[in-house]
A and B are shown apart, each in its own frame.
Chain A
Amino acid sequence: DTGVSQDPRHKITKRGQNVTFRCDPISEHNRLYWYRQTLGQGPEFLTYFQNEAQLEKSRLLSDRFSAERPKGSFSTLEIQRTEQGDSAMYLCASSLTPRNTEAFFGQGTRLTVV
């Protein structure tokens, strides 16, 4: 399968714990995006990378959130000291520039903070 893959698919954690998610984009894609989606809402932009450089972060991304893409391939999103409000689906998407193509989404990691 050459699509965007995310791991894990589901994560249940206790409030206050740290969690880390991984995204493997489509191999030749140079742009990688993280979105967050809560039930019944559309995805909300969190951050994006152009190769290994993180170029934009939403104000939704508090200091407890950090994302990396160390070699311009896979990316990780870490949430420290999780809160119940962090419960959501975390979606990763990738695209190829400058070809103006659509973004392809992974199946997401569903986080539940109890």
Chain B
Amino acid sequence: GQNIDQPTEMTATEGAIVQINCTYQTSGFNGLFWYQQHAGEAPTFLSYNVLDGLEEKGRFSSFLSRSKGYSYLLLKELQMKDSASYLCAVRTLDAGNMLTFGGGTRLMVKP
């Protein structure tokens, strides 16, 4: 089976930096994705890692260590609109490259 763990909730201050961790156990690993989801809306793609290392995309960066089964999403210069759920998802080679999601981390950004 597959197991993906991430914290349930986090709180951070506007303008600060926050790191959301994700650990996974899976077979047939074919990439790790981070999605952002505002309440009642569709998940939207943020980042993708398939090789070890850091991928940077504006205020968002994502890191992957395949040997440790570990990833994190780093959000810099937090804005109030970043308050949302952040979903870590592992893509596997079975079932047509389906995504298996963690439970999501609800981030609350406070002034």
Interfacial residues, chain A to chain B (CB-CB below 8 A) = 4, 31, 33, 40-45, 48, 50, 55-56, 91, 93, 95, 97, 100, 102-108, 110
Partner pick for B99 among A4, A41, A45, A107, CB 8 A cutoff: A45
CB distance from A70 to the nearest CB of B (A): 18
Also in contact, A107 and B104, with CB within 8 A (given A33-B98, A97-B97): no
> Could you name 12 residue pairs across A and B whose Cβ atoms are closer than 8 Å?
A33-B99, A42-B4, A42-B102, A42-B103, A43-B87, A55-B96, A56-B96, A56-B98, A91-B43, A95-B97, A102-B45, A107-B42
Nearest A residue to B39 by beta-carbon distance? A39
Shortest distance between the CB of B4 and any CB in chain A (Å): 8
Given contacts A40-B106, A41-B104, A45-B99, 19 further A-B contacts (CB under 8 A): A4-B42, A33-B98, A40-B103, A41-B103, A42-B87, A42-B101, A42-B103, A43-B99, A44-B101, A45-B98, A48-B95, A56-B98, A93-B99, A100-B31, A102-B33, A102-B48, A104-B45, A105-B35, A110-B40
CA distance A14 to B31 in the complex (A): 40
Complex CA–CA separation, A40 to B44 (angstroms): 17
* Distance in angstroms between the alpha carbons of A42 and B88 in the assembled complex: 9
| In contact, A45 and B43 (Cβ under 8 angstroms) | no
* Interchain CB contact under 8 A, A31 and B96: yes
CB distance from B52 to the nearest CB of A (A): 17
In Å, the complex CA distance between A81 and B100 comes to 28
Asked if B89 is at the interface of the complex by the 8 Å CB criterion, the answer is yes
A95 to B33, CA, bound (A): 14
Q: Which residues from A are CB-within-8-Å of B100?
A: 45
Give the complex CA separation of A106 and B41 in angstroms.
Answer: 9
Q: Closest Cβ of chain A: how far from B103's Cβ, in Å?
A: 5
- Chain B residues within 8 Å of A103, by CB: 45, 99
Given known pairs A102-B45, A105-B43, A106-B42, the reply for A50 and B96 (CB within 8 Å) is yes
